[in-house]
Structure 1
């Protein structure tokens, strides 16, 4: 390589460096450090991708780098991912759900600590779910019940639905159809839950035996996407006087001839 070529390459390198902005240089430096496994740098790269500073905005890459930090047990990274998931970031939501399903111990203890410190109802429900399933925490049905109840008292729809199902399937220590209806009606109306609405229809159909109320709940479940319930609402006239809704027959006569 002759001197002119070397000089041209050197000048080109200087020119390119001079043309890159401060933000671009900051991003490249942070990325280089992040690639060594530094959690702080990984979160910084995530922030830069999120804002599009020094690079093109890339939400998926932002989540990727925050996950890398979270995989090392960095609590701030878990907090960021959880907040992003709550705010509707689909990539963050997918990461959090995958971690929960995999029983990520770091995430489990971070959520448990959050629930204890802040009494956040979503965190309380998640702790209940983790104790219930043994995902991240040692399976403990008693502890699961305690945390579900805590979350339900703060109107967490998911926890209320769990308790409603426990009463509905007689898996709660004090199960009653009325208690199931109390919880499931809230889940159906406030949480727009088709399954809960369908169970309310069954409650009125088979337990209370009120055909019109059952039809109303079948219609609500149908509007929320349950096709079988919609069929029941549409065919009300054909079943309203049949099956469980038939009047009770009088007992047989006990008179003797």
Structure 2
């Protein structure tokens, strides 16, 4: 009886050791997967900083869901991910320093990224004035997003003096670089000036509508209502002139 009990315990011990080995293997695989995803997330953050895009959270959620869908120690992986992710998401000192270095060397995308970081308080204390300075540098290098942001800042007086003339100037630069949003904002701005310019408003709203910008067609119809035949002739001529300039700008390298 003692021998049989000893054999039974030995088998159970063997099974337990085997189960422990499987657990250890899955834990190692989960740890390895976590490290790989953390490296990819760090690369994504660097790309986010260099290009000034705003999709980091979407990238993070994508990696999170893909990893969670696996059956490799979900609970362990989630613990590892939540312990490691915050340091990547909020410890931006090194990343910001790298972006600043590129920006100070005159890299246009890095200049735009610094503007976004100061404007949104991403990795830096929020400073609309410094954001506007970096946006201006990037805009002068032909970054369309920077031109658009400067237009918004001047229209609403965020970090700069409220100046509708400057707003329209930056919107127009962005629109000529191909931004449908800038064309739409410029068309609407012409409608609400103290001295509205209905013809130019219709021109830019039509250009935005041709590019499929939401609401542009309706705004154009409202703006053009009641115009004379000669006004439409002028609108058609200005549309052609601006579209030719947009075509010329496309494909030009960033300075």
TM-score normalised by length of structure 2: 0.53
Of 206, 228, 238, which aligns to 2:192?
Answer: 206
**Correspondence 1:85-234 to 2 at 5 A:** 94=59, 102-105=89-92, 106-116=94-104, 118-194=105-181, 196-207=182-193, 208-234=195-221
C-alpha RMSD over aligned residues:
3.8
Q: Runs of 5+ in structure 1 lacking a partner?
A: 1-30, 43-63, 71-76, 242-257
Deviations 1:42-82 (A, max 9, x none): 6xxxxxxxxxxxxxxxxxxxxx46426x3xxxxxx579x52
Number of equivalenced pairs? 170
- SS of the residue corresponding to residue 35 of structure 1 reads helix
Q: Alpha-carbon deviation of 1:180?
A: 0.9
Query: Relative to structure 1, is the Cα distance of residues 210 and 139 closer, same or farther in structure 2, using a 3 angstrom cutoff?
Result: closer
Of 32, 35, 43, which aligns to 2:32?
Answer: 35
Q: Runs of 5+ in structure 2 lacking a partner?
A: 1-27, 64-84, 229-255
Query: Relative to structure 1, is the Cα distance of residues 104 and 125 closer, same or farther in structure 2, using a 3 angstrom cutoff?
Result: farther
Q: Alpha-carbon deviation of 1:176?
A: 2.2
Q: Alpha-carbon deviation of 1:164?
A: 0.6
- SS of the residue corresponding to residue 215 of structure 2 reads helix
Deviations 1:22-54 (A, max 9, x none): xxxxxxxxx99x93998xxx6xxxxxxxxxxxx
Query: Relative to structure 1, is the Cα distance of residues 218 and 104 closer, same or farther in structure 2, using a 3 angstrom cutoff?
Result: farther
2:222 & 2:130 partners in 1: Cα distance? 44
Q: Alpha-carbon deviation of 1:147?
A: 1.6
- SS of the residue corresponding to residue 179 of structure 2 reads coil
Match of 2:40 in 1: 67
Q: Alpha-carbon deviation of 1:136?
A: 0.8
Query: Relative to structure 1, is the Cα distance of residues 37 and 233 closer, same or farther in structure 2, using a 3 angstrom cutoff?
Result: closer
1:94 & 1:239 partners in 2: Cα distance? 48
1:227 & 1:65 partners in 2: Cα distance? 37
Whether the 8 Å contact between 2:103 and 2:114 is mirrored in structure 1 is yes
Q: Which has the higher helix share?
A: 2
Whether the 8 Å contact between 2:171 and 2:186 is mirrored in structure 1 is yes
- SS of the residue corresponding to residue 162 of structure 2 reads coil
TM-score normalised by length of structure 1: 0.53
Ranked by relative contact order (alpha carbons within 8 Å, sequence separation 6 or more), the top structure is 2
Q: Alpha-carbon deviation of 1:127?
A: 1.0
Whether the 8 Å contact between 2:205 and 2:220 is mirrored in structure 1 is yes
